[in-house]
Amino acid sequence: MKKNTKIKSNKDLVKILTISVIVFTLLLLIYLAGQSFIKNDSFNLNTPLSPIEIETSSSTEENLSSTETTSTTTEETASTTKDTVSIITKSGKYVEVIDSCDAHFGGTCVRARACPSVNCPVVTSLRTGMVLKSTGEITEADGVEWSHIVFDEWVRYSDRLASEWYVSTEYLKDLTSEKTRYAKDAKVENLTNKKIIVDRSEQKLYAYDGDTLFMEVLVSTGLDDLPTPRGNFNIFEKTPSRYMQGPLPGISEQYYDLPGVPWTMYFTYQGGAIHGAYWHDKFGSQWSHGCVNLVPTDSEKLYEWADLGTTVVVRD
């Protein structure tokens, strides 16, 4: 009886040892497989994500005629393009409407016509201070010289441009200006001592070159439901003329149609800009859809003074 008990105990011990060996072997195999997997580059946590995986677009060409892309390669690209093509300048012929009606259509308005003749249909009335792009082509008819106006920018509601525009050169002043913006992926930075301060509580704009005050003027910032954003920004695009339209999907349902918005300088990728306003005279009061409105003559002066990258501070 004692012999049988001893044999049974030995068998149990062998069984336990066998199971232990099997478990140990399995754990060893799992450990070795894990080490092999970690060494594989596809799971290496130190391998950076590709630009495509983390790329985020700040704006689109359709929205602002400018595309800025942020990625892990931005700094490297910026330092490369800074010495080559960090700023893109597009020259063109621009004209300013003069001697026409005022912001409220008071006085006699200059007419844009569908073809170069006084007998052609009137397309729209133009107000003093509008800046438009011209082909530079002059057509003479009916004893009048006509300038051909073009809109070669992205227009939100293109159906509102149903015909050509021709305007008598008698009411146009030729301008020498350029559209300029930072190239895609270029680093936007202020390389000067210039700073623009917009004070929403005062409804004023101050422009400084270092400690020297260049300009102090009344402005109109955004209404309470469409406020001009506070913060520190940089001017990244400048254009002498911009066609602005509403409604703005998801932002404002108000209809407006404003061709030839003069001296526009963008400082946010959502469309925030400093520009002239020929359609109202409420400067010193909130009046805009989020932009900073200036008297057209003030906006031209500021436009010519400010460089790309100029710091813009919006405060209360």
- Domain tally, the chain: 3
Co-location of 249 and 107 in the same domain: no
Query: Tens-digit pLDDT profile for the chain (316 aa)?
Result: 544 544 455 566 667 767 776 777 777 666 665 554 434 333 232 333 222 222 222 333 334 433 333 322 223 333 334 445 599 999 999 999 999 999 999 999 999 999 999 999 999 999 999 999 999 999 999 999 999 999 999 999 999 998 999 999 999 999 989 999 999 889 899 999 999 999 999 999 999 999 999 999 999 999 999 999 999 999 999 999 999 999 988 888 889 999 999 999 999 999 999 999 999 999 999 999 999 999 999 999 999 999 999 999 999 9
* Contacts for 56-62: CB closer than 8 Å, 24+ residues apart: 58/269, 59/269, 59/270, 61/154, 62/154
Co-location of 15 and 79 in the same domain: no
Largest pairwise CA distance in the chain = 136
Co-location of 205 and 223 in the same domain: yes
Co-location of 145 and 215 in the same domain: no
Co-location of 256 and 307 in the same domain: yes
- Residue at 48 is within a domain: no
Co-location of 203 and 273 in the same domain: yes
Co-location of 69 and 205 in the same domain: yes
Co-location of 168 and 186 in the same domain: no
Co-location of 81 and 96 in the same domain: no
Co-location of 166 and 295 in the same domain: no
Domain stop point among 175, 208, 230: 175
Please give the residue range of the domain that contains residue 171. Answer: 91-175
Co-location of 193 and 298 in the same domain: yes
pTM here is 0.74
- Residue at 49 is within a domain: no
Co-location of 194 and 167 in the same domain: no
